[in-house]
A and B are shown apart, each in its own frame.
Chain A
Amino acid sequence: MKQKNIDRLFQEKLKDFEQEPSEAIWKNIERQLDGRQKRRIFPFWYWFGGITAAIALFLLFQQKDTRTLSPLDKSLPNVTVVQNKKQLETKNNKLFREEQTTNNLDVSSKNIAHKKEETIILATSTKKEIQSFKSTSQEPLLNKDTNSKQAIRTVKNKNVAQLDLNESIKTTTANKATFKTNDSLNIVATLKPKKQTIKFNEDKIIAENDVPSISTSNWTVSSIVAPVFFSPFERKGSSIDKKLANKAKNSISNFSYGFRVNYAINDRLSVQTGVHKLALSYSNNDVYVSPSLESKSFSTIASPQSTNVNVTANPTVSPLGSSNQQDLRTSVKGTLYQEFGYIEIPLEIKYKLNNNTKFGLNFFGGISTLFLDANKVSVSTVDYTTNLGKATNLNTLNFSGNIGLDFDYKISKALYFNIAPTLKIQTNTFSTNEGGLKPYFIGVYSGLNFKF
């Protein structure tokens, strides 16, 4: 026993004190960390539900295009095909097994609705063959399923597939019901030489291989929307007729919307494409409208028979001048509207200009292919609006050169917002353009971008 300073007593005794907490603590922390991350993700889905639609579109697009994306993967599937082949050759009914594999892979990766259509067409021409095969093909349905599992497993093992195996099998099982309707198509396929069947098989495997490679790469998919203005700096002119070349022109705000797919080649450079629906329109003031039994407004407008007005650049006296009603005698002022819309497929290269991870500044340029899908000319006066018909001088296929700036703001690792003022100069828009209107449009594209 001796006198000891209290502080020192505690300090010395507790100096090297350490105690391991129970293992449950880390498990709790881990759970809490997970919970936090989950909570953080959820609201984004809530806020931007639209992004799911974009992803669905992307997957649809993706499935159609897989064959063109596959050069890098070619070596891998070859191995798989050989294996597949071996596996198949051990079976007695060689031809029939191959048919089954094709069938199963086919069903899991192709649009069923589309196939049904094919089936119907083929069914009529090959009814007899189908009937003769039908009894044999119905019978081994169960075998088919197990066989397909094997085939899919082979594909998975050969790759760094991230797709859930069980899910794929589930899909196959779920599709079993549709086999019956697909059998007819399938039988037709087996009537062709064996090599073709294998080749078809290979294609399908390539298609499967591409799915995992997408999910691990630098893909971004976006839903985009933009207000667009057709030739906003042209204050006069029209594409319809040279008589309208001096008429005041107003651009009308329209919308373009669609989705975009972006692939990052490296930190700076990326390529992007997509599908946009684009509407453009403008109006010409001070045209003159008069009632008429036979519309012959401008040579570039094909009017339906029911049109009962005539539009001219200058005031005219109506052929019904003898009538007592004044408003039938002379023409009234009106506004001529031209609307045209396109399906736009852009192909652009984007270059990142700064190093900020939160705010990105990009420059991009490229071309768009535009397919005409809307065409309407109408006229409106104070009293009424009438459809004049279609413009005949709009080309169904034309192009645009695109340049723009792209500002993006990162919301989270997987999600960013971008806004891109863009100028698109059109070429080959009009087959004749006597009114001298330069075709171009300006859009401010904003998008929600989901990064994979």
Chain B
Amino acid sequence: MKLKQLIKKCAQKDRKAQAQIYQLYAAKLFSLCLKYSKNKQEAEDNLQNGFMTIFKKIDQFKFKGSFEGWIKRIIVNTALQTYRTKGMLSLVHEEYIEDETVLVDEEAISLDYLLALIQELPDRYRMVFNLYVLDGYSHKEIAKMLTISEGTSKSNLSRARSILKRKIEANDAHSFLAK
């Protein structure tokens, strides 16, 4: 299989194979980085560091499970690591919302706007929201990854949702167009 050979060559530090792997996954992983980061610059940093980790550890990939899943986990961990070392914002208060729906004109809402909303979230809310909603991790897994309790994970998610809901509803096209 072609991918398998590429990976093996990467493990031998073959530069061409590394470039090919990069080209195959850069776009997918960059979008992932954008979601987990505050802004484009941080996303680029995370992508770069993530790829360095991938190339360094690629010989540890034993072809169990999908390669894409494996590299995505590395990228996510890289992003988490960034904010773990920076120190997460400690949260002041908890807020639960009952209603998890929002009133929107779906057609009028762009992807860029939603991405911007995610990036504007405080670090930990952004992590939890990404991990749970967009990448399908359970609260149990998130708690482990972020070294927080499951309860905290749940409340962080809820808080993230409420911020997003408020912004979308309040907002309006104005603030969006302003951007």
Chain B residues packing against A (C-beta within 8 Å): 13, 15, 18-19, 22, 26-28, 30-31, 34-35, 43-44, 47-48, 51-52, 55, 100-106, 109, 111, 114-115, 118, 133-134, 161, 164-165, 168
Rounded to whole angstroms, the CA-CA distance of A13 and B13 in the bound complex is: 37
Whether A19 contacts B27 by the Cβ 8 Å rule is: yes
Contacting residues of chain A (1-23) with chain B, CB-CB under 8 angstroms: 1-7, 9-11, 13-14, 17-22
Whether A10 contacts B27 by the Cβ 8 Å rule is: no
Look across to chain A and name the residue whose beta carbon is closest to the beta carbon of B104: A4
Whether B18 contacts A9 by the Cβ 8 Å rule is: no
Q: Which residues of A contact B13 (CB under 8 A)?
A: 33, 37
Look across to chain A and name the residue whose beta carbon is closest to the beta carbon of B161: A6
Rounded to whole angstroms, the CA-CA distance of A32 and B56 in the bound complex is: 11
Whether B106 contacts A18 by the Cβ 8 Å rule is: no
Indicate whether A13 sits within 8 Å of B48 (C-beta atoms), given known contacts A7-B133, A19-B30: no
Whether A14 contacts B106 by the Cβ 8 Å rule is: no
Whether A13 contacts B111 by the Cβ 8 Å rule is: yes
Whether B165 contacts A6 by the Cβ 8 Å rule is: yes
Look across to chain B and name the residue whose beta carbon is closest to the beta carbon of A21: B30
Indicate whether A25 sits within 8 Å of B44 (C-beta atoms), given known contacts A4-B104, A5-B100, A6-B102: yes
Rounded to whole angstroms, the CA-CA distance of A19 and B28 in the bound complex is: 7
Option from B26, B101, B115, B133 in Cβ contact (under 8 Å) with A20: B26
Option from A13, A26, A32 in Cβ contact (under 8 Å) with B109: A13
Whether A14 contacts B104 by the Cβ 8 Å rule is: no
Chain A residues packing against B (C-beta within 8 Å): 1-7, 9-11, 13-14, 17-22, 25-26, 28-30, 32-33, 37
Whether B106 contacts A2 by the Cβ 8 Å rule is: yes
Tell me the smallest distance from the CB of A36 to a CB of chain B, in Å: 8
5 contacts between A and B (CB under 8 A): A2-B105, A13-B109, A20-B26, A21-B43, A33-B15
Rounded to whole angstroms, the CA-CA distance of A14 and B28 in the bound complex is: 11
Q: Which residues of A contact B109 (CB under 8 A)?
A: 9, 13
Rounded to whole angstroms, the CA-CA distance of A131 and B27 in the bound complex is: 76
Q: Which residues of B contact A7 (CB under 8 A)?
A: 100, 133, 161
Indicate whether A1 sits within 8 Å of B104 (C-beta atoms), given known contacts A9-B114, A10-B118, A32-B48: yes
Rounded to whole angstroms, the CA-CA distance of A30 and B26 in the bound complex is: 14
Whether B26 contacts A21 by the Cβ 8 Å rule is: yes
Option from B15, B44, B168 in Cβ contact (under 8 Å) with A21: B44
Look across to chain A and name the residue whose beta carbon is closest to the beta carbon of B28: A18
Indicate whether A32 sits within 8 Å of B26 (C-beta atoms), given known contacts A6-B101, A17-B31: no
Rounded to whole angstroms, the CA-CA distance of A14 and B113 in the bound complex is: 11
Tell me the smallest distance from the CB of A261 to a CB of chain B, in Å: 27
Tell me the smallest distance from the CB of B64 to a CB of chain A, in Å: 23
Whether A11 contacts B133 by the Cβ 8 Å rule is: yes
Option from B34, B55, B111, B164 in Cβ contact (under 8 Å) with A33: B55
Look across to chain A and name the residue whose beta carbon is closest to the beta carbon of B157: A7
Whether B31 contacts A9 by the Cβ 8 Å rule is: no
Rounded to whole angstroms, the CA-CA distance of A28 and B15 in the bound complex is: 14
